[in-house]
């Protein structure tokens, strides 16, 4: 689904998808193209994608994510062990791209005043059901991370576990918006696919060990329907790009965590696997603070 497309393409430059999941069938996805897409196109495509994929995403990963748990990444790092956000009790915390909001519910259990924000009504519907099932309720907001509907200085902390940042064309805008809604000295910690993964096919096996595209190629990964309309978009930034966007937003980068794949972890999660995890990082967690 994400990362470098496989070789071989149609006359119009579309690379046919090897296999088809339910969301791709629903959205009429036929292949992958290499072209620029606007912010608006990206947001519209990804809102439809996450609405269509919510059910299957949670069927595949819901058990690992837990109902009120803060898992940072497929490597299994949890906030309960990592403590990247610091003191939580009484803090106002924004989770950006919360999905079904297990992290926000965990934060609430720790005594934080957590708010979950996501673009997709389909994902947020699962958050509503989970709140009912667990009895842990957090305010949920449907919005785009590049336009946060909150006043300046509203939050002590902001966090994101693979939510929104890789799925927007203008991730610099997400950095600026988070900096705006954080109070001075507030922390912003976000996890994304490690930029190094961009150069490999999205394959957890041997095929995922061979470089097929340039790390410096910022053209997004774009799946399209028969008419060429984007149905899923993911945007690549190099490590340097991410640092520059963070600094330009008035944030200080305090740490970059690259979780190791634990020897005892045998599961695969999409393109993440023990095979690849033993050789190179799959996740980058940026720990920032507002000046």
Ligand X SMILES: C[S@@+](CC[C@H](N)C(=O)[O-])C[C@H]1O[C@@H](n2cnc3c(N)ncnc32)[C@H](O)[C@@H]1O
| Choice from 14, 29, 100, 193 touching ligand X (CB under 6 A) | 100
Q: Exposure pattern of 14-28 as b/e (b: 16+ CB <10 Å)? A: bbebeeeeebbeebe
Nearer to ligand X, 34 or 67 (CB): 67
CB of 46 to ligand X, least distance (A): 5
Q: Of all residues in this chain, which one has the CB nearest to ligand X in the complex?
A: 99
Beta strands 221-225 and 230-234 are antiparallel
Nearer to ligand X, 145 or 288 (CB): 145
CA distance 101 to 97: 9
By CB under 6 A, tell whether 230 contacts ligand X.
no
Of 281, 276, 278, 285, the closest CA to residue 201 belongs to 276
CA distance 192 to 49: 18
| Choice from 45, 50, 246, 285 touching ligand X (CB under 6 A) | 50
Cα 133–Cα 131–Cα 142 angle in degrees, nearest 5: 145
By CB under 6 A, tell whether 52 contacts ligand X.
no
Nearer to ligand X, 170 or 241 (CB): 170
- x/- track of binding to ligand X for residues 107-146 (CB under 6 A): -----------xxx--x--------------------xx-
By CB under 6 A, tell whether 181 contacts ligand X.
no
| Choice from 33, 65, 172, 288 touching ligand X (CB under 6 A) | 65
By CB under 6 A, tell whether 177 contacts ligand X.
no
Sheet-wide strand order for 155-161: 140-142, 113-118, 92-96, 155-161, 182-193, 283-290, 251-257
Nearer to ligand X, 14 or 136 (CB): 136
Total residues found in the chain within this entry: 291
By CB under 6 A, tell whether 23 contacts ligand X.
no
Nearer to ligand X, 65 or 246 (CB): 65
Phi, psi angles (nearest 5°) of residue 174: -65, -45
By CB under 6 A, tell whether 43 contacts ligand X.
yes
* DSSP for 40-85, written as a single string: HHHHHHHHHHHHHHHHHHHHHHHHHH-SS--B-STT--BHHHH-TT
CB of 163 to ligand X, least distance (A): 4
CB of 145 to ligand X, least distance (A): 4
Nearer to ligand X, 14 or 46 (CB): 46
By CB under 6 A, tell whether 161 contacts ligand X.
yes
Of 28, 26, 77, the closest CA to residue 54 belongs to 26
CA distance 120 to 55: 12
By CB under 6 A, tell whether 261 contacts ligand X.
no
By CB under 6 A, tell whether 271 contacts ligand X.
no
CA distance 245 to 240: 9
By CB under 6 A, tell whether 220 contacts ligand X.
no
> How many residues in the shown chain lie near ligand X by CB under 6 A?
20
Contacts with ligand X, residue ranges (CB under 6 A): 43, 46, 50, 65, 97-100, 118-120, 123, 144-145, 161-164, 167-168
């Amino acid at each position: 689904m994400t990362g470098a497309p496989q070789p071989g393409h149609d006359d119009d430059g579309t690379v046919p998808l090897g296999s088809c999941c339910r969301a791709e069938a629903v959205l009429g996805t036929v292949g992958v193209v290499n072209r620029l897409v606007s912010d608006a196109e990206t947001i519209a495509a990804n809102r439809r994608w996450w609405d269509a994929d919510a059910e299957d995403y949670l069927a595949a990963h819901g058990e690992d994510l837990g109902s009120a748990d803060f898992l940072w990444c497929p490597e299994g790092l949890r906030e309960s062990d990592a403590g990247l956000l610091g003191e939580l009790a009484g803090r106002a915390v924004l989770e950006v791209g919360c999905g079904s909001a297990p992290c926000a519910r965990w934060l609430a259990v720790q005594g934080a005043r957590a708010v979950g924000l996501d673009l997709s009504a389909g994902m947020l519907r699962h958050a509503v059901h989970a709140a009912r099932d667990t009895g842990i309720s957090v305010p949920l907001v449907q919005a785009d991370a590049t336009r946060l509907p909150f006043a300046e200085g509203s939050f002590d902390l902001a966090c994101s576990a693979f939510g929104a940042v890789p799925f927007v064309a203008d991730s610099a805008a997400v950095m600026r918006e988070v900096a705006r809604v954080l109070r001075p000295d507030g922390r912003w910690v976000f996890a994304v696919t490690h930029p190094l993964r961009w150069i490999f096919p999205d394959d957890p096996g041997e095929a995922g060990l061979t470089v097929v595209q340039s790390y410096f190629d910022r053209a997004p990964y774009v799946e399209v329907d028969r008419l060429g309309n984007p149905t899923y978009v993911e945007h690549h930034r190099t490590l340097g790009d991410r640092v520059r966007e963070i600094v330009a937003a008035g944030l200080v980068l305090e740490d970059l965590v690259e979780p190791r794949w634990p020897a005892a972890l045998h599961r695969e999660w999409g393109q993440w696997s023990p095979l690849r995890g033993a050789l190179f990082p799959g996740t980058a967690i940026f720990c920032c603070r507002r000046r």
